[in-house]
Structure 1
Amino acid sequence: MSYCLNPACPNPQNPSDTKFCLTCGTKLLLKDRYRAIKPIGQGGFGRTFLAVDEDKPSKPRCVIKQFYPQAQGTSTVKKAVELFNQEAMRLDELGKHPQIPELLAYFTQDDRQYLVQEFIDGQNLAQELAQVGAFSESQICQLLNDLLSVLQFVHSQQVIHRDIKPENIIRRSRDRKLVLVDFGASKVATANALNQTGTSIGSPEYVAPEQARGRASFASDIYSLGVTCIHLLTQRSPFDLYDINEDAWIWRQYLTSKVSDSLGKILDKMLQTAPSRRYQSAEEVLKDLNPPSVQVATVISQTPTTPAKPLVIKSSPVTPTVTNTPATPSKSQIDVELEALKAEIMGGGTAKNENQKSASSQPPSPNPAKSKSQVDLELEELKSQFLGSPTPKKPPQS
């Protein structure tokens, strides 16, 4: 289909291969290449159409903006002309950013001004909100990270957007990136412009207090973005989220899902009514949104220490030296006690085996056929010393 751009045409729809409107005769191709297909928006300053560029083989889609002010009055129309020209200039400067539409053409035809820009295929956030419902915290954080980088670029070019709202943020279908559109209300932030009271412009629900008084600044865009976020979180009009009597935001009362304290504090600072208490730049918001990870410092000694080797204690049996000891065919009780002593010394005072227990429980029975030698006495003295038993006396001489 081909759509006639004559505002007075009673039947603007035409076949797609027509060059002139069948109803009013208006030329349908702008600059002999841009063909409007259907209207997609209308505002106080003009109309917007989906179009195709027939000068290219692929016939890519684009957007035609027609300057068509609805307001009356010389001063109002003059301001509308200024804003339309301004949008063209802003897009020409900013459109090289991948998340801002590119300006394709700007011209006058049939005494009307036209602006042709890149078409962004996707839904705006107002449409997305109506379709999927309130946003979650993770979605808001993703939105802020994505869009604040765009604002960072816009502000670096000394431009204030002045009309940030869900309708002017499109989620591009091919890569899910957010694209900031509609720079018709944008303003160059020169030193003189910031110090002068200008025209109050912007959507009332989202406009910052100082912007409503004609004193917009970079922080005004931060405010509007904050209002956009709480609207997406609550799915309620921003007018409902502010208590006039208390002069305070009450957006937390309308949350459908919990928001962390960290994000809540960021949004609260973005929404400060006094510009001096608000974030002054997109960089400041991004810094709080993405704090550096906490790194634990590891203190390393200048002289590395060698780890201590484990202490290994080797036990060796205590063997008394016995000279000229005659061989004994069987162990005497003293031998048994001596072995118990050896076992105790070697085992560090551990329990004796069963044979040792039974042997120690019986009284010593010296061998009557053989008297104790000096060695036996020494061994008994040794046993007495280690085991604490009384030293046996010498047997009486017969």
Structure 2
Amino acid sequence: MNYCLKENCKSINSPPEARICLACDSMLLLKDRYRAIKMIGQGGFSKTYLAVDQDKPSKPPCIIKQFYFISQNKADLKRAIALFEEEAEKLDTLEKHPQIAELLANLHDDYCQYLVQEFIPGKNLTQVLETEGIFSEYQIRELLNSLLPVLEFIHSHKIIHRDIKPENIIRRLPSNPVYQTGIKGQLVLVDFGVAKQLTNVEIFKPGTILCTPEYAAPEQLKGRASFVSDLYSLGVTCINLLTNISPFKLFDTGENKWVWRDYLIDNPISKKLGNILDKLIAEATNKRYKSATDVLKDLNCGKL
């Protein structure tokens, strides 16, 4: 099946090897290389497709993220494209890391921006939660020991992920050649928030929120994301995995405090881990951990 990437063209009936859309005569292959074969996600300003890389003999799968430009103001578009390029260049400096989905290409036309990313076979943690149930303390410790070094790595390159949540953490399939024994080597961060740098550029629909509010730090929702915002989102991810409850429900707005412990059912958590999670999700940035390294020290040998 082929998906045409032209805005407002919904044709999916072109022959498998077609290069031109039968409905609108647009090119089906992005950059004459990447063929969209299945839509796997859609939001207010973007679509996500499973695709194949036609340039390689094995035609490996990849992901195309398509972002729509609402504004056609040339100055806005020029600024948006420049910011996309800047963020994409930062991601490219990460080189290939086994726990980061690789950015393969950053492209644009008159109406859309496209990011082509490595496809990671496996389940995201939302799917794991649905099929395997809530996480134990041991699993949360393993998750933190797996992902905190990844955050330390990207933060050292001056990059903020901006959208850490269970859906953006993939557990690799054991059959994947990059898979390593144990949970530590099999968790992968995907969907870096390249587009989320564009909050102040009027190219998307008015009111569009370029992050996931349930998991976003308070300062991020005000347009001031920092490295500790990623740590906050990782902490909120942990309490969601421990309870299988929406983070919105885990925060008591009347008391202005987290009440996630009230939702632990037959899932005891040590005081030490609980205190670490509390510090990760503190509302005030000056009460949170300052770095992933600091969290790892407390998690593995430090005392609170």
Match of 1:207 among 208, 216, 224: 216
- Does 2:272 match 1:262? yes
CA displacement 1:72-99 (0-9 Å, x = unmatched):
6859867764664454223312242221
Contact 1:242 1:249 in 2 (8 A): yes
CA displacement 1:331-379 (0-9 Å, x = unmatched):
xxxxxxxxxxxxxxxxxxxxxxxxxxxxxxxxxxxxxxxxxxxxxxxxx
Structure 1 pair 267–76 and aligned structure 2 pair: CA distance change class (3 A): farther
Cα distance in 2, alignment partners of residues 266 and 62 from structure 1:
36
CA displacement 1:167-210 (0-9 Å, x = unmatched):
2111121226111112235789xxxxxxxxxx985321111122
Contact 1:86 1:184 in 2 (8 A): no
Contact 1:48 1:63 in 2 (8 A): yes
Contact 1:120 1:172 in 2 (8 A): yes
Structure 1 pair 239–277 and aligned structure 2 pair: CA distance change class (3 A): same
Q: Counterpart of 2:8 in 1: which secondary structure? A: coil
Per the alignment, residue 237 of structure 1 pairs with: 246
Contact 1:99 1:178 in 2 (8 A): yes
Per the alignment, residue 308 of structure 1 pairs with: none
Per the alignment, residue 56 of structure 1 pairs with: 56
Structure 1 pair 13–148 and aligned structure 2 pair: CA distance change class (3 A): farther
How big is the shift at 1:103?
2.0
Aligned residue runs from structure 1 range 240-255, under 5 A: 240-255=249-264
How big is the shift at 1:263?
0.8
Match of 1:226 among 213, 229, 235: 235
CA displacement 1:119-166 (0-9 Å, x = unmatched):
111121122222222111111111111111110001101112221111
Number of aligned residue pairs: give it: 282
Contact 1:90 1:186 in 2 (8 A): no
Which residue identity does 2:301 align to in structure 1? P
Structure 1 pair 206–73 and aligned structure 2 pair: CA distance change class (3 A): farther
Contact 2:196 2:211 in 1 (8 A): no
Cα distance in 2, alignment partners of residues 204 and 82 from structure 1:
26
Match of 1:274 among 284, 294, 299: 284
Cα distance in 2, alignment partners of residues 161 and 98 from structure 1:
16
Structure 1 pair 55–140 and aligned structure 2 pair: CA distance change class (3 A): same
TM-score (normalizing by structure 2): 0.83
Q: Counterpart of 2:296 in 1: which secondary structure? A: helix
Per the alignment, residue 295 of structure 2 pairs with: 285
Name the stretch that deviates more: 235-244 or 87-96.
87-96
Per the alignment, residue 115 of structure 2 pairs with: 115
TM-score (normalizing by structure 1): 0.65
Name the stretch that deviates more: 233-242 or 101-110.
101-110
Per the alignment, residue 145 of structure 1 pairs with: 145
Cα distance in 2, alignment partners of residues 145 and 137 from structure 1:
12
Structure 1 pair 125–50 and aligned structure 2 pair: CA distance change class (3 A): same
- Does 2:169 match 1:169? yes
Per the alignment, residue 126 of structure 1 pairs with: 126
Which residue identity does 2:259 align to in structure 1? I
Q: CA RMSD in A?
A: 2.7
Which residue identity does 2:170 align to in structure 1? I
Structure 1 pair 135–186 and aligned structure 2 pair: CA distance change class (3 A): farther
Contact 2:231 2:280 in 1 (8 A): yes
Q: Counterpart of 2:105 in 1: which secondary structure? A: strand
Q: Counterpart of 1:280 in 2: which secondary structure? A: coil
Cα distance in 2, alignment partners of residues 41 and 216 from structure 1:
25
Which residue identity does 1:248 align to in structure 2? K
Which residue identity does 2:163 align to in structure 1? D
Structure 1 pair 90–142 and aligned structure 2 pair: CA distance change class (3 A): same
Aligned residue runs from structure 1 range 78-93, under 5 A: 81=81, 84-93=84-93
Contact 1:87 1:183 in 2 (8 A): no
Contact 1:159 1:187 in 2 (8 A): no
Contact 1:201 1:212 in 2 (8 A): no
Q: Give the gaps of 5 or more residues in structure 2.
A: 198-207
Contact 1:4 1:13 in 2 (8 A): no
Identical pairs, percent: 59
Cα distance in 2, alignment partners of residues 249 and 76 from structure 1:
39
